[in-house]
């Protein structure tokens, strides 16, 4: 007879409500009402891994699905019972369980199994519930990656790390900023450096006065530069220049920390939005100085 399965759950309690899931990740989906019922009111859960209850359950029943058991063998129609082939045979007549070999090969084809079908029924389930927190609700997939501040990650259960002080790594914050900037890039801005470790966004500042600048027009293999004087119609000014380390020029994006994940997500959203807002202002030429940076006196 197969060994009875023990259901090991972990639970959190928040405002009196109980959240439960399997402790072993191999049993990821929480049992449905059709397969297991508890002695507590089950609430609607929109996560297949978690069950939600009005109170902490203390007992459960599980449905034993119908099973078929071979109780013996009977001679097929059309064959006459003899001393070697009786009308019925007991279970195990054609298989030796101890030696794991088949037996009576010469007459096995003359018989059909006699089976007994056991109906479905509810039986007491053996459950263990480990309550890991009395003031916490589970958090699903988060908007941003994060880690608990030491030693919260080793003092508390991993499923409760979102309620403690935590942070987002500088590289992950940089990636969030870069993704939002590129997604919301306006027409008057352009990206001049786009790497996993560096992002530069410039805006062209228009000028109305005539200004000259020297530009190297020599080829990439030229030994000496060849300068050409051109008239400027605009000057690139960096709006955003961020990086992940001091190996390149720019503002280094470091880790961001908050009291818990909910506060951290708000802080990340605000930080990301601040960089997006930098690109909203479209520069225009000053009507007084025409881009020189000083007022023109009336003649």
Mean pLDDT (whole number) for 251-268: 95
| Tokens representing residue 18 in the block | 């109980």
Q: pLDDT by residue (tens digit) across 31-59?
A: 998 889 999 999 998 888 999 999 999 99
Listed range (98-107, 133-142, 177-186) with the worst mean pLDDT: 98-107
* Per-domain boundaries in the chain: 7-64+122-136, 67-119, 139-205+234-299
Q: At CA 264, angle to CA 43 and CA 178, rounded to 5?
A: 115
Residue 93: predicted pLDDT? 84
Radius of gyration of the chain (CA): 37
Backbone angles phi, psi at 25, to 5 degrees: -65, -15
Q: pLDDT by residue (tens digit) across 220-250?
A: 787 888 887 766 666 788 899 999 987 888 8
The residue whose two tokens read 């263990």 is 128
Q: How far apart are CA 187 and CA 204, in angstroms?
A: 11
Residue 231: predicted pLDDT? 64
Between the alpha carbon of residue 189 and those of residues 186, 244, 278, 282, the distances in Å are 6, 22, 10, 9
Query: Half-sphere exposure of residue 165, counting CA atoms within 13 Å on the CB side?
Result: 8
- Record the pTM: 0.67
Q: pLDDT by residue (tens digit) across 54-101?
A: 999 999 999 887 678 888 898 888 888 888 888 888 888 887 767 777
């Amino acid at each position: 007879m197969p060994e009875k399965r023990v259901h090991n759950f972990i639970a959190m309690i928040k405002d009196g409500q109980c959240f439960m899931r399997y402790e072993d990740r191999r049993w990821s989906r929480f049992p449905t009402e059709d397969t297991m019922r508890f002695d507590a009111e089950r609430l609607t859960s929109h996560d297949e891994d978690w069950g939600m209850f009005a109170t902490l359950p203390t007992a459960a029943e599980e449905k034993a699905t119908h099973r078929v058991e071979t109780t013996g063998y009977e001679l097929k129609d059309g064959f006459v019972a003899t001393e070697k082939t009786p009308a019925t045979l007991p279970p195990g007549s054609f298989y030796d369980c101890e030696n794991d070999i088949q037996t009576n090969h010469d007459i096995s084809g003359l018989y059909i199994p006699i089976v007994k079908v056991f109906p479905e029924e509810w039986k007491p389930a053996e459950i263990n519930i480990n309550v890991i927190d009395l003031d916490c609700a589970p958090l699903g997939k988060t908007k941003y990656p994060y880690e608990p501040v030491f030693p919260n990650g080793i003092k508390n259960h991993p499923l409760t790390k979102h309620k403690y002080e935590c942070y987002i790594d500088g590289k992950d914050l940089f990636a969030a900023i870069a993704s939002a900037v590129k997604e919301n890039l306006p027409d008057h801005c352009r990206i001049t450096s786009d790497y996993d470790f560096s992002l530069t966004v410039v805006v062209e500042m228009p000028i109305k006065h005539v200004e000259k600048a020297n530009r190297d027009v020599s080829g990439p293999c030229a030994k000496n530069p060849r300068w050409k004087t051109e008239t400027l119609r605009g000057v690139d000014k960096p709006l955003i220049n961020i990086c992940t380390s001091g190996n390149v020029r720019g503002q280094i994006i470091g880790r961001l920390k908050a009291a818990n994940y909910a506060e951290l997500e708000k802080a990340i959203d605000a930080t990301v939005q601040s960089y997006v807002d930098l690109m909203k202002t479209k520069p225009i030429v000053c009507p007084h100085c025409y881009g020189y940076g000083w007022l023109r006196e009336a003649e």
